[in-house]
Structure 1
Amino acid sequence: MSDPAQPLSNQQLLDVLSQYHSGIAIHYGVDSIIQYANDAMIAIWGKDKRVIGKSLEDALPELKGQPFIDMFKKVWNEGITISGTNTPADLEIEGKLQTFYFDFEYRAIKNAEGKTYCILHTATDVTPRYLSQQREQDMAEELTAINEELAASNEELRTTNEELTESQDQFRILYEELSESNSRFRSMVRQAPIGICIIRAGNLLIQDVNDAYLELVGRQRGELENKTIWQAIPEAAETYAPVMNQVISTGIAFSAKEHELSLNRNGIPESVFVDFVYEPLPYYDGSINAIMVLAIEVTEKVKARRSIEEIEERNRLAIEAAEIGTFDLNLDTNVMITSDRFNTIFGFDRPLEREEFAATIHPDDRQARAKAHADALKTGKLYYEARVIYADKSVHWIRVQGKVFYDQEHKPYKILGTLLDITQVQRLNQQKDDFISIASHELKTPITSLKASLQLLERMKDNPSATVLPRLIEQSSRSMQKISSLVEDLLNVSRTNDSQLRLNKTTFTIHDMLNACCNHIRVAGKYELIIHGDEQLQVRADEHAIDQVIVNLVNNAVKYAPESLKIYLIIEKEGDNARVSVKDNGPGIPASKLPNLFERYYQAEAVGFQNSGLGLGLYISAEIIKRHGGEIGVNSEPGKGSTFWFTIPIKG
């Protein structure tokens, strides 16, 4: 199996550009510093690779006084594109200043903010074409003059045979020169590296075509010669016949870049991309004699660019989906380009200078950040975690990872990296640590008590009549009950996490279930459970699980409102749902605590009350209600008590 195609590296892309027959160069800065030039461009300039890194004026001093330097500055400053056709330029080639003619384009390449960061310079030496056109035009004009001279000669024929003979000799010489020029032109067409087809304007008959054009359209020479262009390539007629007719009628050239074209090449339908020009060739009187078609296939270039764009888009979507921020730091200029997500993670809605981002780092983490950057320049890898402080004084955690890029002298010049908001991860880690501490403390107390009771029972096993024996047994039982309750909470959390919480739904009356639940509270005799509401309301649900929710909510009321001796259990019907509320008249819960009450391991602080338990009761209750397709919540104000409620569908 062949290896899958791999995206081209930057160097490979430059190698591809270096093979292109037309000149390509990349400049930056207002002085047009040459960062890259392919071999074709170097040849056009008549220089060598030493021009790389020089300004255009330093590399080609002969351009001083010509308009090109000012054009580059205008393109850089205004972010525009300037192009020209058959534009003359004086260049020093092999020590001699010569005039050449070019089709060129200076195009400003911009970043996402619309700022120009380089100029793409393309040029094609069209001197032979231009001079050929000029020669043809000159010859046409000369031929006109000759015709005029011939007319005069015919008038003089009657007076002198010598003058007639001389005129005929001159005509023969001019004709031979014209024939020679025509032969040179046709030879140039056939040897040109781009596809060329010359079509007579009057009847669209193909006059000449080179091998490059035949290869482009996938035809043999015999399929095109002595035929009209649309007889030879009928599949292109619908789209391009109107364009060619317009060029003939107006005398204005037409060009297209990366135009998609369907061709039947060698009997196989193919979709290709071409750059092409319909260039009108005029008579001496301005009427159009012929159309010269110049075409270059750029299918591979278009596919490669689209592939790169597709990869970039997939990477962008993946980064956005992962909510990762990205940055590009230039170590020479200290300029940092950041993504929108990067700015958001730092608490901003716009790009800022690097120093402004750094200023938000928590003072205690700045030294670690500086060390991470210093180490990265040596190791090539950047990694650190730190806190950032938002404008509202809230603290958030970030994780920064990056890769350092080096130049040929192994000098670091750029860092590309990612930024991730790990605030929630740090919070969960903290919750995990808190839970371990709480669980250790909560389990240690009953286990210690149980161990002490068992040690005393061990000593008293031979004296079963001891009066302290019942108290030790009762204390052991309470300790074991406490341990069992803690372990049950942990098992319930494990089941909810592993989606193992199975519901055994039956139809039951909520009022009857409330009457039967919370016996541990009723037996103690301290608190009164008062039931209000619809006594006949029935639901289809897991009665044992709903009972567990009620017990958790009642225990929560007893725990955080110990002075509220009356606890109200309220039953209501809301549309297709049953709503059950547990209300106390305790001190209430601060608003800042309400959003976190149903999180795992969270325990609100009660004034003057020592919390116990693992902070799992409300979390388990929320999971049970969620599995029933209901909602759970709390309404509370400091000093006005709290009402915990949940809803579940009546019909399950």
Structure 2
Amino acid sequence: MPTVYNRENIGSLIDIEALYQYAPCGYVSFIPDGTIIKVNHTLLEWLGEQEDDLLFKKKFSDLISKGGNMHFEMFFRPMINVHGKVKELSYELMGKEGEILPVLLSATTIRDGNNKIAAINAALYEITDRKKFEKELVIAKKQADLERKRFAFLADLIPEIIWTADTYGHIDYVNERFFQYFNIDHRIVHSRRLLLRIHPEERKLFMTEWRACFGTGRELNITLRLEGEQGIHKWHLIKGAPHQDEYGKLTKWFGSCFNIDDHVKALQKKDDFISIASHELKTPVTSLKASLQLLDRLKSEIQSKKIISLIDQAIRNAGKVNTLISDLLNASQMSQGQLHLNKKSFYISEILKDCCNHLNEDLHRVTFEGDVSLTLFGDQDRISQVITNFINNAVKYAPQSKIIKISVRQLSKSIKVAVIDDGPGISKDKQEHLFDRYYRVDSNGAQVSGLGLGLYISAEIIRKHDGTIGVDSSPGKGASFWFTIPLSEE
């Protein structure tokens, strides 16, 4: 029959002396003058001492380093006499072989009938690992301070503005170039004053983008004008990237601010030239097309097959030239903010077939997915232009893709249209530049026509509709070019 334990017999299971002797901490008792009267096995083992060599022969202060002895006399004794206890005082014990053992000491007193201290019981906690950690922490802190100073030194040498911000979007560091450009006193960074330095036309856009990036954790990338010395605004490219720790937690934002004023003004001059040249070319090309159309109607009266072939070739080339000029004019209008939209509600099915009419069905076949009967609210011609551009790119860069899919789906607050091919796909490093002006993907060394403006124009059209545009692709797995348009405002 098993033994039943209760409060009366539970004491038989506990060996108080063994608990004292082999506790994970050291125990020592000494009288007011410091003479040791009791010590446990754990402390003897730490010190490499024998009990008979300590009891009534040595004082507790004999076990402490010289520096610790001064602290023991000046702090421990007054505190124990006044309060009757001390807690976690740091000392270094000296072992028999000269080794040093860092400990934390906590002690209480035992008093006699006259309320005088009869003995002091002390518990010692070995903190070698803790001391090592604290030392490593100090070294790490010094190293971090050194790296921070090195970062600040290098950042101050850079001719562009460098900044960091906390997870809430509050700027907590800027380099020397920041104070030079804005001509303000060092270490004084007022967010509201900085906002006033942004050109009024871009201020609201910046605030919206800033809050969106810090709210979602996506990278910041925005171009705007900043007011420097003498009240002159110059174009800058502001970039910011979030930094995450090893657990994926957002801890910091690092950013830069590049002065691109000369670059922007050079682009504006080029756009002005392109706009003027395109307008000048538009008139003679229109006349040329009219003449070619007249010749096309007279082909039945022409006997020479060679001349008929040349007329067809001239019509095709004139169409290409006209398309290039239209792209240049569109790009010029968009860069100057002159793109105007004629928004209305229309069925997406009204434009899908028109976008595919020019395809050779023997080479490419278009299939539809989703709900093509959905209604879009936007500029019908411009949306058609975007879809046509996506289809043309699928034909141009994925000529072996026999099937081109057009997907139309309704999301919670928008409608998504995607053109999907089974071509060679696009690498990640190229995807981020696809919607830049004049950028063309190198199609494995093959020559492709165009100015690299189609996707740029498409992106501007979608942004003007308050939508989003993008591409999902990876090498060898085709590409899906898509855009979203907010649901009808009706």
Normalising by structure 1, what TM-score?
0.32
TM-score between both structures, scaled by the size of structure 2: 0.42
RCO greater where, 1 or 2, for CA within 8 Å and sep 6 or more? Answer: 2
Which protein has the larger Cα radius of gyration, Structure 1 or Structure 2? 1
